[in-house]
Amino acid sequence: MRRRNYLITVANKLAKNYAKKFISTALVPIDYTRTKEIPAILDVSGIDIKKNKKLRILDIGSPQILSLSLCLCSELWDVVYINPFEMELEDLHLKSSVLCLKNLDVIAEMNRIANDAGVDTLDVGAAIGVAMEAGLAEFGDEEAVIKLMEEVRNLTPLGRILASGCKVAAKVLGVRHAPHVLGQALPAYEPRGTKGMAMTYLSNPMGADHSFGFTLRDEDNLTSKEGKVELSKKFQVIGSRMDAMGMCNFVRYSVRNDMTPLLNLIKSRYDVEISADEFDDLVKETLRIEHQFNTDAGITAQDYRFTETFYEEVQPETGEKIDITDEESSQARQW
């Protein structure tokens, strides 16, 4: 009983001090419809906020979010377990939040077709959003999205365009609002609502990669760009440590300020002693090589940008635009 009460206390603190801030600003998806009402974040993507009721979370059964089991002990959380074709949280965002879909069966079917066709589930979701923005379907049209996914599977001309991803689809269809950096669709977090993640999208070698340089939990002021160059670089190094050791990225939170456990693992496995500075020098050199690879491939500083709509239009939920300058994102790429 004492242990359960302790877990309830911890979960409640998380809910009050972190989760609601996280939900209200960062988890807002790319707003194609330019409205404040985004049904996916409330009805499908895992979070349902209603006055005087529990915070409802859909646990999609992914091993990456086992920490949600703590929520079972909290009076503020209502965890519902579902497992439709092993959909990931980001997949739900890019199929439901962006496309205004509420039917989990439809989203699961889209996911199944994407897996059959061998296309990235996130990027094809963003590409279909671009197609909707171009007027090829209405947002929220369940039959239309399945037909578009079938176009992908059947390798029709339109299907090939959508399968090529958000960037290509936007260029071919003449859509300005294309949520990507370096051709990789924004995966989950609206950059105008979290400037740390925006800095990471604009500066890491993979472009819009939310798992590399994940700043969200350590941002005191999500919508301010102040200090986000340093914060993003800190977590890019931490992410590189995980990559170098082949470890789950979620380990990063337990070693973000003290990497002694990682160094002890290296010593135990290889009988090699390495200091924290030596380890970080290694991963920083890796980052330099990755950026040099991009440069050699023809990627320039001008490619590390969002499309212009993110700088011109405010995010309705926060009233924010992207205000990060090219110079600031360049600083975050210097190693």
**pLDDT tens-digit series, residues 164-202:** 999 999 999 999 999 899 999 988 788 898 999 999 999
Q: What is the mean pLDDT of the chain?
A: 78
Q: Are 32 and 136 in contact (CB under 8 A)?
A: no
Largest pairwise CA distance in the chain: 62
- Average pLDDT, stretch 308-322? 89
The residue ranges of every structural domain in the chain are 2-184, 189-331
pLDDT tens-digit profile of 236-271?
Answer: 999 888 888 888 877 877 888 888 988 999 999 999
Q: At what angle do helices 142-153 and 104-117 cross, to 10 degrees?
A: 10
CA dihedral 224, 229, 231, 237 (to 10 degrees): 150
- Token readout for 2 is 């004492």
Distance from C-alpha of 199 to C-alpha of 322, rounded to nearest angstrom? 10
- Average pLDDT, stretch 105-124? 87
Q: Are 196 and 216 in contact (CB under 8 A)?
A: yes
Q: Are 175 and 134 in contact (CB under 8 A)?
A: yes
- Token readout for 299 is 């990627």
Q: Are 193 and 214 in contact (CB under 8 A)?
A: no
In this prediction the pTM is: 0.77
**pLDDT at 189 (0 to 100):** 80
Report whether CATH 3.40.960 matches the domain 2-184: no
Fold classified for 189-331: 1.10.599
**pLDDT at 271 (0 to 100):** 93
pLDDT tens-digit profile of 208-232?
Answer: 988 888 898 888 899 999 999 999 9
Q: Are 85 and 113 in contact (CB under 8 A)?
A: no
- Average pLDDT, stretch 146-151? 97
241-250: long-range contacts at Cβ-Cβ below 8 A with a sequence spacing of 24 or more? 241/279, 241/280, 241/283, 243/283, 243/286, 244/279, 244/282, 244/283, 244/286, 248/64, 249/211, 249/214, 250/64, 250/67
pLDDT at 305 over 50: yes
